[in-house]
Amino acid sequence: MTSTRRDILISGADVVGSGRADIAVKDGTIVAVGPGAADALTDPRRIGADGLIALPGLVDMHTHLRQPGGEDAETVLTGTRAAAVGGYTAVHAMANTSPVADTASVVDQVLRLGEEAGWVQVRPVGAVTEGLGGARLAALSAMARSRARVRVFSDDGKCVSDPVLMRRALEYVKGFGGVIAQHSQDPALTDGSQMNESRLSGELGLAGWPAVAEEAVIARDILLAKHVGSRLHVCHLSTAGSVDLIRWGKRMGVAVTAEATPHHLLLTEDLASTYNPLYKVNPPLRSAEDVAAVREGLADGTIDCVGTDHAPHPLEAKDCEWQAGAFGMTGLETALPILISTMVETGRMTWADLARVMSAAPAAIGRVEGQGQHIRAGSRANITLVDPAERRTVDPQQQWTRSTNCPYTGMELPGRVRYTILAGAITVDDAAPVAKEDR
């Protein structure tokens, strides 16, 4: 189906925080919600939304778009198209590209590619260190002052393991309201590691990845952030001990936030028994007890948001033996259904809670203007309409990402995004992506 940029009237949606209501969109802004919304528009595009949940557009703190340099796995265009289909209106594009996004010119290139694609708002993440090398700080100030206005910095894929360098980074970004998003992994404790360290890793003969390798870095960085008075964000938290450490940091008043991934909310280390590298990820899938603790931490607000850690790979990087396989899983198109399945349908969270962890909180952490706003008059028209009743069997061949390294193949998951609206433009229309030139 095609769409236009004319005014939009969404009728009969279940608006999170407001109940069943109509929504009027004009010139990219929500101008009315509730009775009389139709009176605010003349000849709008009408969307019948009976039975659909209206959420603020989803925001991802943690997306790998691979471009520049990794176009065989994903491009900004294909990755952001997948994001739109998944209900996202903004994503943070991680810096581990080739060349690394450690200069103003590279982050501005990623920004431009996102604008040209037009599927979502792309917020480039800048590297903390030059070339992700962990030796010298990257051009943090230049990236912050660039057209991309970078506010999130991360060496994701690698840990800023040097405490002096980490302290300097925290001090530097404090001046312009930035945040360091840390990949918490002590490299000395994880050299050659393949899966969660446990009884099972011994049985399978795969080198173990101890929980303490994550937890020790989190504890250190919380103390550094407290000392400096700066913002720290913990990427892809995965252990029960890590959840406890975030609680500890918040009780002390430290400006620490954390994200959980959908796969750490659903999958366990038992899948390593298949020796299928589709289930190989960094940090690794953990125990059932860890999964339960991460779910509890997300439900009680200890964990602030959900980050997909969407990590596409070319076929050959996963169609191999476990030890040779790349770390990472796709996730943009399955994140919302997994949250519905693990958190909403189980009664752990309400739809308002889901909107908080998948939209409002990541937008606030990343300082993304116009995103994560409540659906009310005056807000930017970034809206996701989801059918919670529809259930679908996951098939990577029917997804819009360029890569097929999806760990959920064959699973039946609830919820399907029917419409995604970005600043008043319909990017997904009746579950089908709408090319920029056809809107």
- The DSSP output letter for 207 is -
Which residue, 258, 266, 253, is CA-closest to 242?
258
φ and ψ at 29, to 5 degrees?
-125, 145
Which residue, 325, 345, 366, sits at the end of a domain? 366
Q: Does one domain contain both 27 and 62?
A: no
Residues 19 and 94 in one domain: no
Q: Print the domain residue range for 409.
A: 8-54+378-433
* First-residue to last-residue Cα distance in the chain: 10
Is the alpha carbon torsion for 253, 259, 265, 271 positive or negative?
A: negative
* Helical segments of 88-185, H only: 104-117, 140-145, 163-174
- Answer whether the bond into residue 99 is a cis peptide, omega within 30°: yes
**Which pairing describes strands 19-26 and 29-33: parallel, antiparallel, or unpaired?**
antiparallel
Give the pLDDT score at 17: 86
* pLDDT by 10s per residue, the chain, length 439: 344 468 999 999 999 988 999 999 999 999 999 999 999 999 999 999 999 999 999 999 999 999 999 999 999 999 999 999 999 999 999 999 999 999 999 999 999 999 999 999 999 999 999 999 999 999 999 999 999 999 999 999 999 999 999 999 999 999 999 999 999 999 999 999 999 999 999 999 999 999 999 999 999 999 999 999 999 999 999 999 999 999 999 999 999 999 999 999 999 999 999 999 999 999 999 999 999 999 999 999 999 999 999 999 999 999 999 999 999 999 999 999 999 999 999 999 999 999 999 999 999 999 999 999 999 999 999 999 999 999 999 999 999 999 999 999 999 999 999 999 999 999 999 999 999 888 8
pLDDT at 5: 62
Q: Assess if residue 2 is contained within a domain.
A: no
46 shares its domain with 92: no
pLDDT of 437 reads: 87
- Are residue 247 and residue 165 in the same domain, yes or no? yes
Query: Looking at the domain assignment, is residue 45 inside a domain?
Result: yes
Distance CA 219, CA 354 (A): 27
Residues annotated as part of the active site = 309
* Number of compact structural domains in the chain: 2
What is the model's pLDDT at position 228? 98
**CB proximity list for 232: less than 8 A, separation 6 or greater:** 170, 179, 180, 182, 221, 222, 224, 225, 254, 255, 256, 257
Residue 184 to residues 140, 169, 237, 426: CA-CA distances in angstroms? 20, 15, 8, 37
Segment holding 415, helix H or strand E: strand 412-422
385 to each of 65, 122, 161, 248, 434, how far by Cα in Å?
24, 20, 41, 36, 15
List residues forming the annotated binding site for Zn(2+): 62, 64, 156, 183, 236, 309
Neighbour tally for 22: CB within 10 Å: 21
Q: Looking at the structure, do residues 272 and 127 belong to the same domain, yes or no?
A: yes
At 141 the pLDDT is 97
Whether 409 is in a domain gets the answer yes
Q: Which of 366, 390, 409 is the last residue of a domain?
A: 366
Query: Does 283 reside within a domain?
Result: yes
- The answer to whether position 336 is within a domain reads yes
Pairing between β-strand 432-433 and β-strand 425-429 as defined by DSSP bridges: antiparallel
- Which residues contact residue 268 at a Cβ distance below 8 angstroms, ignoring those fewer than 6 apart? 285, 286, 287, 288, 291
In a domain, 372, yes or no: no
Token pair, residue 20, equals 């069943």
Which sign does the torsion angle of CA 192, 275, 63, 304 carry? negative
In 10 A of CB 130, how many CB atoms?
15
In this structure, the answer to whether residues 42 and 67 fall within a common structural domain is: no
Q: What is the DSSP string of 282-317?
A: SSPP--HHHHHHHHHHHHTTSS-EE---B----GGG
Residue 354 sits in a domain whose CATH number is: 3.20.20.140
Residues 402 and 290 in one domain: no
Query: What is the rounded CA–CA span in Å between residue 183 and residue 177?
Result: 20
Pick out the residues of the known binding site. 62, 64-66, 96, 156, 183, 236, 282, 309, 313, 327-328
> Residue 393, SS3?
strand
Q: Give the C-alpha separation, 423 to 350, whole Å.
A: 26
Does residue 240 share a domain with residue 218?
Answer: yes
Q: Which residues belong to the annotated binding site for substrate?
A: 64-66, 96, 282, 313, 327-328
Of the candidates 360, 232, 367, 253, the one whose C-alpha atom is nearest the C-alpha of residue 305 is 360
Q: How far apart are CA 359 and CA 106, in angstroms?
A: 26
In angstroms, the CA 16 to CA 380 distance is 16
Same domain, yes or no, for 236 and 382? no
Whole-model pTM: value is 0.97
